[in-house]
Amino acid sequence: MEFNIDSPINIYGFIIFTQTLNIYRNILYSF
């Protein structure tokens, strides 16, 4: 997967994606 740093949409999308993975991982580890 390739991200263009010049595009703020891709940066925000990458941040949201990583935050979602962190939340999902925390939920899995909580069980």
Q: Return the pLDDT at 2.
A: 63
- Please enumerate, as own/partner, the contacts of 5-11 that have beta carbons within 8 Å and a separation of 24 or more: none
Q: Return the pLDDT at 3.
A: 56
Q: Return the pLDDT at 16.
A: 93
Q: Return the pLDDT at 22.
A: 96
Q: Return the pLDDT at 28.
A: 92
User: What end-to-end distance do the CA atoms of the chain give, in Å?
Assistant: 31
Residue pair 11/3 in contact by the 8 Å Cβ criterion: yes
pTM for the model stands at: 0.54
The predicted-structure confidence for 1-31, as pLDDT tens digits, reads as follows 565 556 776 788 889 999 999 999 999 988 7
